[in-house]
């Protein structure tokens, strides 16, 4: 697409002016960057015309493929009306319609929608609503959150405070507010493959119960990623754990905050991960798949009970004093509405079941590779963990960059991946065809074999 001089210029400007997220820039500067120019379905196309399968749905966001005609057209139609107007004191059409739609498609009881721009802010809002809710209820000593080892809820300070990944968060310890972190039980690490064991579930739930008892009357809420922890390494929760946490939250009279930023919009094979265990949280956060990977938009949904606690006379200062400039952006809301319309038109949740089945069947093959220690899959979210020695479960050292090396090998073969340390993540758009999926799996298999065997 680009002539050679343009290409050189782009690379030079990238290295001169850009600071990439979650990237060691010293490494980056020595490498030849892939610069994406276009998208076509599940393919990303770079400035040299190379086509890559988008194996991670552009950071876990894409659902129906890139450059989708219906999404494009919804966006263009809205653009011809207006790109942005504020929700602070005024309203707009797509924000109203999307709020109604979200209430209709989320678990029962979630009847109010608060918009923001990304997953981290959706979580911040949930935490702040919980804190303020308890103040209005006259229980301001409820100001602690129970959260979990390996949890990831975003990179802003509040979201980090309820995170559990020391590599990301420990540098900022001095900024983080105090919470109650539930340590993974020993049995969890020794029996990961057997992750629906009731033993693991009971051990986790006992820890949560203990924390609730030890902090009686002080817990504002329990926050978790339902069914699968994403950035922590695609770690599966034992079956029934989510339901168990919900029951504990109810028993102890605290709030349940479910972070569906990654799991929402069909990723787990149901529209919401909560549906697998018939869970109705008090607060639900959604972002990544909300606009099918098109625009930054997020929402925090909550119940009538919580919403009503904020009602009062103007001078009582019960207002929720929080809002972002682009809250309820009409372009984002319009494309989100079309995203949901496609789910409904194409009965996508039903359609994706065959894709999930095929994916899970084929993943078994990966155990024939000597350095594949663990394969964890939940719907269309997969983590393949590489190990130096799978029998003795010895991990590769961080410096070996095994995950990064496998992803480079996959890139050579035509797939874009991004690892979580030694775990290779597969998270393709839900609309990937079986043939495309096969090709993604073949590439991944060969890349792992090439680097590790």
Ligand X SMILES: *Cc1c(COP(=O)(O)O)cnc(C)c1O
Q: Which residues bind ligand X (CB under 6 A)?
A: 118-120, 123, 152-154, 225, 230-231, 259, 261-262, 287-288
Q: Say what angle helices 434-452 and 348-363 make with each other, to 10 degrees.
A: 30
Tokens of 319: 């207002």
Total count of residues recorded for the chain: 453
Give the nearer residue to ligand X in terms of CB position, either 119 or 293.
119
Cβ at position 244, least distance to ligand X in Å: 19
Cβ(290)–Cβ(340) under 8 Å?
A: no
| Residue 26 neighbours by CB under 8 Å, 6+ apart | none
Cβ at position 1, least distance to ligand X in Å: 29
Give the nearer residue to ligand X in terms of CB position, either 107 or 414.
107
Tokens of 317: 């200062």
Give the nearer residue to ligand X in terms of CB position, either 148 or 152.
152
Q: What is the DSSP letter of 2?
A: -
Q: Which residues pair with 395 in a beta bridge?
A: 387
Give the nearer residue to ligand X in terms of CB position, either 158 or 373.
158
Cβ at position 44, least distance to ligand X in Å: 19
For CA atoms 291, 297, 300, 304, the dihedral sign is: negative
Cβ at position 415, least distance to ligand X in Å: 21
Cβ at position 224, least distance to ligand X in Å: 9
Give the nearer residue to ligand X in terms of CB position, either 41 or 154.
154
8 SS3 class: helix
Cβ at position 351, least distance to ligand X in Å: 24
- Which residue number places its CB atom closest to ligand X? 119
Give the nearer residue to ligand X in terms of CB position, either 64 or 288.
288
Cβ at position 151, least distance to ligand X in Å: 8
Cβ at position 332, least distance to ligand X in Å: 12
Give the nearer residue to ligand X in terms of CB position, either 148 or 445.
148
Cβ(445)–Cβ(365) under 8 Å?
A: yes
Give the nearer residue to ligand X in terms of CB position, either 268 or 452.
268
Largest CA-CA distance found in the chain, in angstroms, rounded? 69
Concatenated DSSP letters for 204-258?
Answer: HHHHHHHHHHHTTTTEEEEEE-SSEETTTTSEEPPTTHHHHHHHHHHHTT-EEEE
For CA atoms 189, 405, 12, 4, the dihedral sign is: negative
301 SS3 class: strand
Tokens of 100: 């109604």
Give the nearer residue to ligand X in terms of CB position, either 261 or 410.
261
Half-sphere exposure of 304 (CA within 13 A, CB side): 2
Cβ at position 290, least distance to ligand X in Å: 10
Give the nearer residue to ligand X in terms of CB position, either 39 or 154.
154
Cβ at position 163, least distance to ligand X in Å: 9
Cβ(440)–Cβ(55) under 8 Å?
A: yes
How far is the C-alpha of 62 from the C-alpha of 50, rounded, in Å? 20
Q: Where are the alpha helices (DSSP H) in 55-142?
A: 57-60, 69-81, 93-105, 119-136
Q: What share of the chain is helix, strand, coil (3-state, %, to 5)?
A: 45, 15, 40
């Amino acid at each position: 697409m680009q002539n050679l001089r343009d290409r050189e210029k782009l690379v030079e400007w990238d290295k001169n002016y850009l600071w990439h997220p979650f990237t060691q820039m010293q490494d980056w500067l020595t490498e030849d960057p892939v610069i994406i120019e276009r998208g076509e379905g599940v393919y990303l196309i770079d400035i040299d015309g190379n086509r890559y399968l988008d194996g991670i749905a552009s950071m876990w966001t894409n659902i129906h493929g890139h450059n989708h005609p219906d999404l494009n057209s919804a966006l263009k139609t809205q653009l011809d009306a207006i790109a942005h107007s504020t929700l602070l004191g005024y309203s707009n059409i797509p924000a109203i319609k999307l709020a109604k739609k979200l209430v209709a498609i989320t678990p029962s009881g979630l009847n109010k929608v608060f918009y923001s721009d990304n997953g981290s802010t959706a979580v911040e809002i949930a935490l702040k609503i919980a804190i303020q809710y308890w103040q209005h209820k006259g229980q301001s000593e409820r100001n602690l959150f129970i959260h979990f080892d390996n949890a990831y809820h975003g990179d802003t300070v509040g979201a980090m405070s309820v995170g559990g990944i020391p590599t990301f968060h420990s540098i900022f310890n001095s900024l983080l507010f105090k919470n109650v972190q539930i340590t993974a039980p020993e049995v969890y690490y020794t029996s990961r493959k057997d992750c629906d064991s009731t033993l693991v579930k009971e051990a986790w739930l006992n820890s949560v119960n203990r924390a609730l008892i030890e902090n009686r009357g002080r817990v504002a809420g329990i926050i978790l990623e339902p069914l699968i922890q994403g950035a922590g390494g695609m770690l599966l929760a034992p079956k029934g754990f989510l339901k168990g946490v919900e029951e504990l939250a109810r028993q102890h009279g605290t709030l349940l905050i479910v972070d569906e930023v990654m799991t929402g919009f069909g990723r787990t094979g149901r529209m919401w991960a909560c549906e697998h265990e018939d869970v109705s949280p008090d607060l639900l956060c959604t972002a990544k798949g909300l606009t099918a990977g098109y625009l930054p938009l997020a929402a925090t949904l909550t119940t009538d009970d919580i919403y009503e606690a904020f009602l009062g006379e103007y001078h009582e200062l019960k207002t929720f004093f929080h809002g972002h400039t682009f809250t309820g952006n009409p372009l984002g809301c319009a494309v989100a509405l079309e995203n949901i319309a496609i789910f409904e038109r194409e009965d996508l949740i039903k359609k994706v079941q065959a894709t999930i089945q095929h994916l899970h069947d084929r993943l078994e093959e990966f155990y024939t590779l000597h350095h594949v220690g663990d394969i964890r899959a939940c719907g269309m979210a997969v983590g393949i963990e590489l190990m130096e020695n799978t029998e003795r479960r010895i991990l590769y050292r961080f410096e070996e960059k095994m995950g990064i090396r496998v992803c480079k090998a996959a890139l050579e073969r035509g797939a874009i991946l991004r690892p979580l340390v030694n775990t290779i993540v597969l998270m393709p758009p839900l609309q990937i065809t079986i043939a495309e999926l096969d090709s993604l799996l073949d590439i991944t298999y060969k890349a792992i074999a090439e680097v590790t065997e």
